C-alpha cells in the first residue's frame, strides 16, 4: 500500500513537530533537574543553618539531661545494689563449692589471696553495661520517633521568595 505525496508530506511534518516537541521536553526536563538540584542545595543550607541548631538545642535541653540522669541512676543501682548482691551470692556459692570439694578430697581450705576482679565483679560490670545500653537504646528510640511527626504546612503552595 503506497501513500500519496500529500500524506507523506503531512506525516513528515508531523514527525518534525514530534521531534521538536521531544527536544523542547528534554530542555524542560533539564531545567527542572537544575531547579531540583538548587532546591536540594538550599534545603541543605536551611537544614544546617536553621534545623540542626534547633534540634541540637532541644536535645541538649530536654533529652541529654534525662539520658544523663538515667545513666547516673543506672550506675547508682548497679554499683550500690546489684554488685553487692550478685557478688555476695556468687561468692557464697563459690565458697560452698570450694568447701564441698575440700571435704570430698580431704584438703584443708585456706582463704585465697585477692588477685583482681572476681566473677561477681565481672557479672556486675556486664549487668551495668546492659543497663546503660538499655537507657541509650530507649533514648535513641525516643529521638527516632520524632522524625516521622513533622508535616509541612501546605505542600502545594509555592514558596514565598
User: For 88-146, how does the pLDDT look when each residue is reduced to its tens digit (9 = 90+)?
Assistant: 877 888 888 888 777 777 655 566 666 777 777 778 888 888 888 888 887 777 776 55
Distance, C-alpha 32 to centroid of its chain: 33
This prediction's pTM: 0.36
Distance, C-alpha 128 to centroid of its chain: 22
- In terms of DSSP H, where are the helices of 47-118? 52-58, 64-77, 83-105
Query: What's the pLDDT at 13?
Result: 94
Cell of 158: 509555592
Q: Mention every residue, 6+ apart, whose C-beta is less than 8 A from residue 71.
A: 132, 135, 136
Cell of 63: 533529652
Cβ atoms of residues 127 and 82 within 8 Å: yes
Q: Could you tell me the residue ranges of all domains in the chain?
A: 5-147
- Tell me the average pLDDT across 145-153: 53
Cβ atoms of residues 123 and 93 within 8 Å: no
Q: What is the pLDDT of residues 13-60, one digit of tens each?
A: 999 999 999 999 999 999 999 999 999 999 989 989 988 888 888 888
Name residue, grid cell 542545595.
41
- In terms of DSSP H, where are the helices of the chain? 5-46, 52-58, 64-77, 83-105, 119-146
Query: What's the pLDDT at 108?
Result: 59
**What is the phi/psi pair of residue 17, to 5°?**
-65, -40
Query: What's the pLDDT at 161?
Result: 44
Cell of 133: 545500653
Rg of the chain on CA atoms, in Å: 36
Amino acid at each position: 500500500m503506497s501513500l500519496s505525496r500529500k500524506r507523506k508530506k503531512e506525516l513528515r511534518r508531523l514527525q518534525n513537530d514530534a521531534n521538536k516537541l521531544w527536544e523542547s521536553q528534554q530542555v524542560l526536563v533539564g531545567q527542572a533537574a537544575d531547579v531540583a538540584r538548587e532546591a536540594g542545595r538550599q534545603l541543605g543550607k536551611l537544614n544546617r543553618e536553621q534545623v540542626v541548631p534547633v534540634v541540637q538545642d532541644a536535645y541538649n535541653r530536654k533529652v541529654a539531661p534525662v539520658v544523663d540522669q538515667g545513666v547516673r541512676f543506672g550506675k547508682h543501682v548497679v554499683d550500690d545494689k546489684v554488685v553487692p548482691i550478685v557478688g555476695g551470692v556468687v561468692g557464697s556459692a563459690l565458697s560452698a563449692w570450694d568447701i564441698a570439694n575440700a571435704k570430698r578430697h580431704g584438703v584443708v581450705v585456706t582463704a585465697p589471696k585477692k588477685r583482681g576482679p572476681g566473677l561477681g565483679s565481672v557479672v556486675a560490670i556486664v549487668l551495668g553495661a546492659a543497663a546503660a545500653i538499655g537507657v541509650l537504646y530507649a533514648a535513641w528510640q525516643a529521638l527516632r520517633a520524632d522524625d516521622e511527626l513533622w508535616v509541612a504546612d501546605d505542600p502545594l503552595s509555592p514558596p514565598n521568595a
